[in-house]
Amino acid sequence: MKPQIKGKKLLSAGIALGVLCGANLITTEHKVFAATAFTLTSTPASINLSDLTPSLIKGSIEDLVKGSSYHTFNKNKSFYSTPLSINGVKYETGIGTHSRSEIGYDLNGQYTSLTANVGVDDQVAKGHGSVQFVVKADGKILYTSPVKKSGDPAEQIKVNISETKKLKLIVLDADGSIVNDHANWANIKLHSAVNLSDLTPILVKGSIEDLVKGSAESSSYHTFNKNKSFYSTPLSINGVKYETGIGTHSQSTIRYDLNGQYTSLTADVGVDDQVARGHGSVKFVIVADGEVIYTSPVKKSGDPAEQIKINISGKHTLDLIVFDADGNIVNDHANWANAKLLP
């Protein structure tokens, strides 16, 4: 069920604004606001695993303790040093190896996911070879492939490796014989989360109704601060401080062009601690490709942060919206704390 949005009363042409600055209450009236456009920078952080140097190369699981190694591996080539190819599809990057191999990497918790196309290389006659691919993180098996033979389509995998320190890529023979078990970890990549505050919005503008209608005429009350609160202090919600995020104000919209490159958005949302406890009253709204996909409960200063994780797979346009929840925008200092995009 889609979340319901209330608060169309916010859309009056003139908004009486009270902003508490130190001990003084400054009142202004805003009639017309101009939208502000920015250039786009939005690229997920990802690397080819073949660009890294393994911390470990060993043999079969049975021989693990002994430390024996059956075969090494090739970077960006098959086991036979030919271009990586699975079921007729060629790949420029990846790792070519053999069954009963294990390749280890020290990741130090820097990455969130691993993607790859796995299968038996086309150098092996169709129907031959028989392997399984295993991804292990900090001693725990996260993924085991079905049995793959030459001529089978590549298995496209995506594995959550958040906070993983030690990664192991294991290839097992599936039939008791290692003959022709030429295994490809093709196009294998490591992805890390992106701080939303590291990206540049394509637009900063106003009210939610204008956004949903797609109106080109929209107001903007305030811009935003990167990694600081609305008052340029460290981001803080209910006593918890955050190093990264976005500080803004109610009746603001911040838009990003994601190009369909991310799967989810995570954040802690709430009113900044610069506001006296119990004051301020906001709702946080996320709109993706014109559809509302999240609406927070009403948040006031002193409330714990609302921890959110929203599916944005394939979404191109992302809007972060804050609007006042009580018809008054005084003290509505809103934090999108620790906001991250996950590839």
Assess whether 136 and 19 both reside in one domain. Answer: no
Instruction: Identify the pLDDT of residue 56.
Output: 83
Residue with tokens 């014109």: 290
Co-location of 166 and 269 in the same domain: no
34 and 59 belong to one structural domain: no
Q: How far, in Å, CA of 43 to CA of 238, rounded?
A: 32
Helix, coil or strand: residue 35: coil
Low-confidence ranges of the chain (pLDDT < 50): 1-43, 60-71, 207-222
pLDDT of residue 93: 98
Tens of pLDDT, residue by residue over 242-275, are 999 999 999 899 999 999 989 999 999 999 999 9
Q: Do residues 51 and 38 both lie within one domain?
A: no
Q: Given this model, what pLDDT does residue 21 score?
A: 27
Q: What is the per-residue pLDDT for 91?
A: 99
Decide if 174 is inside a domain.
yes
Question: Looking at the structure, do residues 163 and 231 belong to the same domain, yes or no?
Answer: no
- In DSSP terms, which residues pair with 134 in a beta bridge? 144, 170
Scan for tokens 């959110």, then name that residue: 308
The pLDDT score that the predictor gives to residue 292 is 98
Which pLDDT score is estimated for 19?
28
- Contacts by residues 52-59 (CB-CB < 8 Å, ≥ 24 positions apart): 52/105, 52/190, 54/103, 54/104, 54/105, 55/104, 55/105, 55/106, 55/166, 56/102, 56/103, 56/104, 56/105, 56/168, 57/101, 57/102, 57/103, 57/104, 58/101, 58/102, 58/104, 59/100, 59/101, 59/102
Q: How much is the pTM?
A: 0.69
Output the furthest CA–CA distance in the chain (Å, rounded).
80
- Domain ranges, residue 68: 45-192
Residue-wise pLDDT for 286-321, tens only, equals: 999 999 999 999 999 999 999 999 999 999 999 999
Q: Say whether both 180 and 208 belong to one domain.
A: no
Q: Domain for residue 2, yes or no?
A: no
In a shared domain, residues 205 and 328:
yes
Please tell me the total count of domains within the chain.
2
